[in-house]
Amino acid sequence: MSAIRFDWYSAKAAANLRKHGVGFEEALVLTDDEHSVGEERLVLLGLSAALRVLVVVHCERREGNVIRIIPARKADRGERTDYAERRAP
């Protein structure tokens, strides 16, 4: 099995960084609608390497082991609470 690669559109990554303050590179530790036909989108809620709780939407590309990040953003208050409650012992 080959290693999984990540990709994204640079314009989308720049827009995401401006809008949400989260770079896709940060989202890697967790992974345009016209390109999503037939793709299953998955949502991750987790802690980044910068110790921020993020929400990352991604899909697996058909051509090889590629995970494409769509948006990534800081979790809102409710999402952070949900994350903390799920992680509590």
Q: What is the percent of the chain with per-residue pLDDT over 90, rounded to a whole number?
A: 28
**pLDDT value at residue 63:** 74
Q: What is the per-residue pLDDT across 30-47, written as a single tens digit (0 to 9) for each?
A: 543 455 556 778 889 999
Q: What is the per-residue pLDDT across 10-27, written as a single tens digit (0 to 9) for each?
A: 888 898 899 889 888 887
User: What is d(CA 50, CA 53) in angstroms, rounded to the nearest whole number?
Assistant: 9
pLDDT at 61 over 70: yes
Instruction: Return the structure tokens found at 79.
Output: 């999402």
Domain ranges of the chain: 5-87
